[in-house]
Chains A and B, each alone.
Chain A
Amino acid sequence: MKMKRLLAGGVCIALLPLAAAAQDTAQCKGQLASLSVIGQGMPAVTALDAHLAEFNAKWDTEVKITLLGENERRAKARLDASTGAGAYQVLYIDEANLAEYVSAGWVHPLADVVPAEYDLADFRVDLANVASSGGVLYFAPFVGGGDVMMVRKDLLEAKGLGVPKTLDEMVAAIKATHDPDNKVYGWAARGQRGSGMNVWRWTPFFRAMGGEWLDGETPIFNSEAAVKATELYIDLMKSAPPGVGTFNWSDSVEAFRGGQVAVLIESDVFGPWMEDPAKSQVAGKVAYAPPPEPLPSAGWAHGWAVSSVGAKDDCAKVIAGDFVGWATSKEMEQQRLAAGIASDIGRVSTLQSEAYRKSVPQEYIDAVLATGSRTNLLIMASPAWPEIGDTLGLALEELFTGTRDDVQGALDEAVFAAEDALSRVK
C-alpha cells in the first residue's frame, strides 16, 4: 500500500510540469482578441473557413485570414516582418523566401511553438526538406511537391503518339498536336514575370541543360545552358495559346482544364484539379507521368510559420503555434478529403490513407511517386533570391513577349543585377 502511494505520488510529481504547462497555455484563452494570418487562396486555406469557429471557441479569439495573391502576400509578409510592424502572428511562406526569413530571424523554429501532439514528423519528407533550413523545420507545409506532366491522351492517340518519356519526344508531341485553327494548342506554360512564375517553370529546362546559378559567389545563369534553355522555352511558346507570354500558373492550368492544351508540365497539386468534372472539360482524358528526361522536378512547399515579430508575447506565440499545428494537422487533411479536396496534401499519413487513394486516379499517384526521387529545390538558396528571381523573371518575360529578342543580352543584364543583389546580402 505504501509502495502504491509512493508510486502514485511519484507519477503526480512527474506530471506536474505538464500540468503546469497545460495551465499556462489554458491561461492564454481570451488573451488574444484576434489572430491575424496571411494566407494565399489555396484550397487548404479557403477550406479552413468551415472550421474556424472551432478554433475561435478553443482560444476565445477570432482568426482573421487575409487572402492575397502570391506576389502580394510575399510583399505583405516581408513588409510586416521587416518594418517591425508585426500585425500578423502567422505568416504564409514558401521555398522562395525561407532563406531570407530565417537569416533575418523573422520566424520561430516550428518545434518551439507547435505542440508535440500535432506530430511534426508526419509531414512529407520532400516538403519538410523544403520547409527546413539547416535541418530546422520553420514552416508547416500543407501543400507542395514537385512537377508532373499532364497530357491529353485523346489528342496524342489521334496523332499515333504515346506519353512522352524524353524531352525530345515531348517537343515532337507538342508540335504534332498544335492545331490553332481548331483552338488546340500543343503547350502552355507560365510567362508572367516573377521568381515564382516564369522563372519557376523555366528553371527545370535551365537545370536540364546543365545550368548552374552560381560559381562560388559569382552568378553564372547567363551561361550557354541558360541561353539554350531559354531558346527552347521560347520555341515551345510558339505552340501555346495566344497571350502565353504573360500567363501565370492559373492561366496555364485553366487553358489545359478548358480543353485547349495537349501537354502541360505543372506542379503536381494541379493533377486532381483536372479530374473534377464540374470544373474540368478534360476529366478522364488526362494521362499523368513524370516530367520527361532529363527535366528535373521543381520542389516547392507552401505553409504557415509563426512570426517572431508578430507573435512576441507568450500567449500570442502559444495561440499562433496551436493554429499552425491545428490548421495543418492530420485531422484537418482528412476533413478536407471528406469534403472532396484532394489537392493539398502535406502529411504522409494522408497519402497512405484509403480516403486519398479513393479520391485520385492511381495513375496520378504513380506519377507523383515516380517523380519524388527527381524532386529538388532547383532555385538559388539565397536571401537575395526574391530580388534575383524577379529580375530574371522580368528579363524572361521581355523575351517571351517579344519586347526584346537578344537572349544572351537579357540574361547578361539579369546576372549584372544579381551581382549587385548578392553583394548587398554580404
Chain B
Amino acid sequence: MTRQRFIFLSLAPALTVLGLLAAISTAGAVWFSVMNRALRSPDYEYVGFYNYLRLLRDKRFFNALEISLIWELITVTGTLAVAILLAVLVHETVKRPLWRNLICFAFLAPVLLPRVAAAFIWRFLYSPSLGLANWFADLFGIGPIEFLADPSIALVSVAVVDIWQWGLFFTVILVKLLETLPRDPIEAAMLDNARVWEIHAYVTLPMLKGPLISLVLVKAVESLRSFDLIFVMTGGGPGTATETLDLYAYQTGINLGGRVSYASAMSILLLIATTLAFTLIWRAGRKWSR
C-alpha cells in the first residue's frame, strides 16, 4: 500500500462522518430557512426568501451583528494583548524553571473551568451589593458599579471573563514558545544595547508571527462559540447590549417565539458571513506570515 493510499484510507471514515454531519445539518437549516416553521404548530409551508428579507429589516438582527463583531474584536485583541504582555513578563522576570512551571500551571486553571461555572463565579463577583469587585471599588470610593446591568459596560465586563480564561491559557503557550526561540538573534540585539521591550517588539515577537496568527484564528473561532458564557451572565441583556447573533437566534428559535425558520435563516447568514470573513483573514494571515 502506498503512503498516499494509506493516508487517504485512514482519514476517509472520519472525514465522511464529519462531512455527512455538516452537510445534513446545513441542508436542514437551509430547508427550514425557506419555510415558515414555528414550534407552536406542526404545519408549515414554503415562503421563499421571506425570512431573509425580513432579517434585512430587523433592527435587532443588525444590533446582534454589531455586538458579535465588537465581541470578536474585544475578546481576540484582549486575549492576545494579555497573553503577550504576561508571557514577556514571566519570561523576563521568572528565571527558575520550577517557578515558571508553577505559574504556567496556575494560568491553565481558568481555562479548565467549565464556561458555565466561570460565568456563575464571575456573576457573583460582579454583584453590585455582594460582589468582591464592588468591595474593591468601594475601597477607592467608587461604585457601586453595575457591571452586568449597565448597558455601557456589560459587554466589556463579560469579555473580561473570556479574556481571563483564554488570555492566561495563551500566556502559557507563548511562554513555552519564547523558550524555544534560538538565542543568537536575541543576543545580537543585546550586544546592540537594545532594551528589553525592543528585543521583544523587534526580534522575538516577529519570530513568532506564524504561531501568533494561528492563535488569533483559534481565538476568533472560539469567540464565536461564547453562547454559554453570555447566556449565563447576562442572557443578552441589559436590553440587547450583550445579545450576539447566536443568542438572538436562540431567543428567536427556541426561547422567544419558537420561530425555527427565522432562526435558521439567521444561522445561514451567520455561516456565510463567518466563512467569508475567515477565508479573507486566513489569506491575509498567510500573506503576512511569509
Contact = CB atoms under 8 A, between A and B. Distances in A.
Are these two chains actual partners, yes or no?
yes
A86 interface: no
A394 interface: yes
Given A71-B255, A391-B256, A241 B129 contact: yes
Contacts of B256: 386-387, 390-391
A296 B200 CA distance: 68
Given A78-B258, A398-B240, A424-B38, 16 more contacts: A71-B255, A79-B258, A82-B258, A104-B40, A192-B235, A241-B128, A242-B146, A243-B129, A243-B149, A245-B238, A246-B238, A383-B40, A387-B256, A394-B240, A400-B238, A402-B151
A284 interface: no
A421 B235 CA distance: 22
B80 interface: no
A242 B149 contact: yes
Contacts of B239: 394, 397-398, 401, 403-404
A324 interface: no
Nearest to A387: B257
Interface string A20-32: 0000000000000
Contacts of A191: 149
13 contacts: A82-B40, A82-B258, A243-B149, A246-B237, A258-B130, A383-B40, A386-B257, A398-B240, A401-B150, A402-B150, A402-B151, A403-B238, A403-B240
A183 B235 CA distance: 27
Interface residues of A, number: 40
What is the interface of chain B mostly: helix, strand, loop, or mixed?
Answer: loop
B53 to A, nearest CB: 14
Contacts of A409: none
Interface of B: 38-42, 127-130, 134, 144-146, 148-151, 234-235, 237-241, 251, 254-258
B42 A82 contact: yes
> Which of B41, B42, B237, B257 has its CB near the most chain A CB atoms (within 10 A)?
B237
Interface in A213-261: 241-246, 255, 258, 260
B15 to A, nearest CB: 29
A193 interface: yes
B33 to A, nearest CB: 17
Contacts, number: 99
A421 B257 contact: yes
Interface string A177-195: 0000001000000011100
Interface string A68-103: 000100110011001110000000000000001000
Interface of A: 71, 74-75, 78-79, 82-84, 100, 104, 183, 191-193, 241-246, 255, 258, 260, 383-384, 386-387, 390-391, 394, 397-398, 400-404, 421, 424-425
B129 A183 contact: yes
Contacts of A397: 237-239
A401 B42 contact: no
A347 B286 CA distance: 70
A277 to B, nearest CB: 20
A390 B258 CA distance: 12
B129 A401 contact: no
A83 B39 contact: yes
Nearest to A101: B40
A95 to B, nearest CB: 17
Contacts of B255: 71, 74-75, 390
B158 to A, nearest CB: 12
A104 B41 contact: yes
A255 B241 CA distance: 25
A403 B243 CA distance: 13
A224 B213 CA distance: 56
B39 A246 contact: no
Contacts of A246: 148-149, 234, 237-238
Contacts of B151: 401-403
> Which of B128, B251, B256 has its CB near the most chain A CB atoms (within 10 A)?
B256
B129 A242 contact: yes
Contacts of A192: 235, 237
A133 B148 CA distance: 39
> Which of B38, B145, B257 has its CB near the most chain A CB atoms (within 10 A)?
B257
A75 B146 CA distance: 29
Contacts of A193: 235, 237
Nearest to A421: B257
Nearest to A390: B256
**Which 6 A-B pairs have CB atoms at the shortest separation, nearest pair first?**
A242-B128, A401-B238, A387-B257, A403-B239, A398-B239, A82-B39
B148 to A, nearest CB: 6
> Which of B41, B149, B241 has its CB near the most chain A CB atoms (within 10 A)?
B149
A421 B146 CA distance: 34
A424 B216 CA distance: 44
